[in-house]
Amino acid sequence: MKNKAILVVSFGTSYEETRQKNIVSLELDIAKRFSKYRIYSAYTSSIVRKILMKRNIQMDDVPTAMGKMAKDGIWEVIVQPTHLLYGIEYEKLKNQIIDASQKFKKVKLGRPLLSDIYSLKKVISIISHEIKPEKGTAILLMGHGTSHFSNIVYPALDYISKAEGYDHIFIGTVEGYPDLQIVISQIKKSGFKKVLLTPLMLVAGEHAVNDMASDEDDSWKTVLQKQGLQVTCMIKGLGEYQGIRDIYFSHISEAIDKD
């Protein structure tokens, strides 16, 4: 019997296609890569869990998942979040783990995706190799953004993209800094007339479909078009890129090796 487990924690999404392509598929890959560990999953969004429950899809929150692991005889737990930042959700997760840690001999917490300079450089490199727009086209990555101080990752990622020679890659956020208007000014100042718009999020869910790519007046696509830019949307979550998954794998391996 396996007495070690990996708990994969995601915010979650109610968009089933992208949930399968990004979260479920990532969990299956983790199970293959770390075959000595039992795999459990949890979603931190109560809204998403309620929507899925109506479809007869049961997803646990973190305390429930950890309670199940304890009942299953697990004594060592690696908790790997699929979150991008050390933000509000990560802090909540950390506190929940502390509360449940007495149930196990060992509980180790992995890092989020964008957690150090190496990871930021790696993500930009992966995107530049995976997305090949026609010449003269800017890539605009739409991040969520946050009021948490961890939002500094987004402007840092934009800076790194330019420092690494990817002058055609720009980063903006829906609820943080830099916002869309700032990014539009940067794109136009750089002389780009065409934009490939794609999410900087694990899943291409609500924000990608509606806030980014819809025909609503306030969607990013529409706002960019009103500014005279030609826009192409690519609705694809970060979890679909193998290179991104590899970063999560490395964070799990690092957590396993912790004393």
CA-CA-CA-CA torsion sign (97, 24, 89, 109): positive
pLDDT tens digits along 83-120: 999 999 999 999 999 988 899 999 999 999 999 999 99
Whether 144 has a binding-site annotation, put simply, is yes
pLDDT tens digits along 106-162: 999 999 999 999 999 999 999 999 999 999 999 999 999 999 999 999 999 999 999
Looking at residues 12-33, what average pLDDT do you find? 97
More confident call, 101 vs 80: 80
Phi and psi angles of residue 58, each rounded to the nearest 5 degrees, phi first: -90, 115
| Domain residue limits, the chain | 4-112+240-257, 117-237
pLDDT tens digits along 169-209: 999 999 999 999 999 999 999 999 999 999 999 999 988 99
CATH code of 117-237, in short, is 3.40.50.1400
Whether 207 has a binding-site annotation, put simply, is yes
Q: Let me know if 144 is a catalytic residue.
A: yes
CATH code of 4-112+240-257, in short, is 3.40.50.1400
Helix residue spans in 19-116 (DSSP H): 25-33, 46-54, 62-71, 88-100
Burial of 19: CB neighbours in 10 Å, binned 0-12, 13-18, 19+: buried
Residues 144, 148, 168, 251: which is the catalytic one?
144
Query: pTM of this prediction?
Result: 0.95
> How far is residue 46's CA from residue 56's CA, in Å, rounded to a whole number?
15
Pair of tokens at residue 210? 């509606």
Q: By 3-state DSSP, what share of the chain in percent is helix, strand and coil, each rounded to 5?
A: 50, 15, 35
